[in-house]
């Protein structure tokens, strides 16, 4: 709602091996189930915000590459809007999480923050002067390089074995392009 209160929850397995169409169908079902648990109707939902892994274009809502889902150039925004007829915003999942923490969680009240999320991979989002930025746009792809260089410096100064951590988080060359 307008106060960011959680009105209901719904959860379903991703099952990405079934492909993007099936995953989006499950997302739509999950949204409908969550709305059904409230006293709202789908027509009263003014917008959908969804976080997706990997590099994407937030303007078009196309997920360029989501390695953990096996996705390449998936038009997530269009797929959701065509099924639900509700305006949809697609953002990198780590950027969305960082912004959520800034607005409603551990980062409340600070102007600048960095969020680091460890899951299938390691991702980072940055809030500067209350604007969320991150590696989902080409403008900020360099921040991933900065992060890995910082990790390299830390690994060089850290106890023996810490260099393995840098190797684990070092970005692949041009990982956002299909190979």
pLDDT-derived band at 124 (thresholds 50, 70, 90) equals: confident
Q: What is the pLDDT of residue 131?
A: 60
For the chain, give the mean pLDDT: 77
pLDDT band at 134 (very low <50, low <70, confident <90, very high): low
- CA-CA distance, 164 to 158, in Å (whole number)? 11
pLDDT tens column, 138-163 = 333 334 434 444 444 444 444 444 43
Q: State the Cα–Cα distance between residues 132 and 100, nearest whole angstrom.
A: 10
Q: Which two tokens stand for residue 11?
A: 């959860």
d(CA 26, CA 43): 19
DSSP state of 140: G
Q: Which of 57-61, 126-130, 134-138 has the highest mean pLDDT?
A: 57-61
Distance CA 155, CA 153 (A): 5
Q: Looking at residue 130, what is its pLDDT?
A: 56
* More confident site: 157 or 39: 39
Q: Which two tokens stand for residue 131?
A: 């604007």
Spatial strand order in the sheet of 122-128: 113-118, 122-128, 131-134
Contact between residue 86 and residue 47 where contact means Cβ atoms under 8 Å apart: yes
Chain mean position to CA 85: 22
Give the pLDDT of residue 133: 58
The Cα–Cα gap between 132 and 101 comes to 11
The predicted structure's pLDDT at residue 135: 42
Task: Name the H helices within the chain.
Answer: 20-36, 76-84, 93-104, 141-157, 163-169
Question: Is the pLDDT confidence value at 109 over 80?
Answer: yes
């Amino acid at each position: 709602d307008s106060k960011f209160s959680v009105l209901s929850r719904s959860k379903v397995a991703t099952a990405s091996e079934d492909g993007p169409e099936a995953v989006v169908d499950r997302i739509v079902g999950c949204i409908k189930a969550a709305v059904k648990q409230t006293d709202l109707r789908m027509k009263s939902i003014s917008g959908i915000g969804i976080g997706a892994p990997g590099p994407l274009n937030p303007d078009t809502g196309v997920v360029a590459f989501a390695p953990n889902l096996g996705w390449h150039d998936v038009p997530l925004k269009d797929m959701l809007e065509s099924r639900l007829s509700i305006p949809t915003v697609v953002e990198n999942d780590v950027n969305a999480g960082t912004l959520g923490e800034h607005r409603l969680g551990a980062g409340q009240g600070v102007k600048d923050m960095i969020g680091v999320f460890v899951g299938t991979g390691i991702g980072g989002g940055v809030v500067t002067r209350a604007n969320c930025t991150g590696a989902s746009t080409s403008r900020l792809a360099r921040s991933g390089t900065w992060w890995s260089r910082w990790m390299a410096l830390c690994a060089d100064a850290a106890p023996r074995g810490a260099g393995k951590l840098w190797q684990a988080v070092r970005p692949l060359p041009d990982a956002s392009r299909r190979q």
